[in-house]
Amino acid sequence: MPEAYVVGQMMVKNSEKWAQYRGQVLATVQPFGGELVFRGQQVQTFSGVNPHPDIVVIRFPSADDAQAWHGSAAYQALIPLRQEAADVVLTTYST
């Protein structure tokens, strides 16, 4: 089964609330076999326009695991905090 990657592109609106969210989100990922690949900040755009200067990539064993994480009660409970903290685009990719 191919691995899946959840890619989050963010524009932080409230750094204090974002820190709270970041401090809690990885605990919701781990029960689904997810692991943080990297977090980073945009250095340069070579082509096009990207309004989201921050990025996170999380690897899951499968797309089903990524979907289960996103739909879990633990993660769903964090979404209101995430929405207050940042504008986020979440996408899933498989290999």
- The yes-or-no verdict on residue 23 having pLDDT over 90 is yes
Tokens of 84: 């207050």
| Residue 88: other Cβ atoms inside 10 A | 18
Distances (CA, A) of 63 to 51, 67, 71: 26, 6, 12
28 within 8 A of 72, measured Cβ to Cβ: yes
**From 3.40.50.720, 3.90.1150.10, 2.50.20.10, 3.30.70.100, which CATH number describes the 4-94 domain?**
3.30.70.100
Average pLDDT, the chain: 96
Q: What is the pLDDT of residues 42-86, one digit of tens each?
A: 999 999 998 899 999 999 999 999 999 999 999 999 999 999 999
pLDDT higher than threshold 90 for residue 1:
no
Task: Give the per-residue pLDDT at 81.
Answer: 98
Residue ranges covered by each domain of the chain: 4-94
pLDDT confidence of 14, banded at 50, 70, 90? very high
- What pLDDT shows up at residue 29? 98
**Residue for token digits 């964090």?**
78
CB of 9 closer than 8 Å to CB of 87? no
Contacts of 19 (CB under 8 A, 6+ apart): none
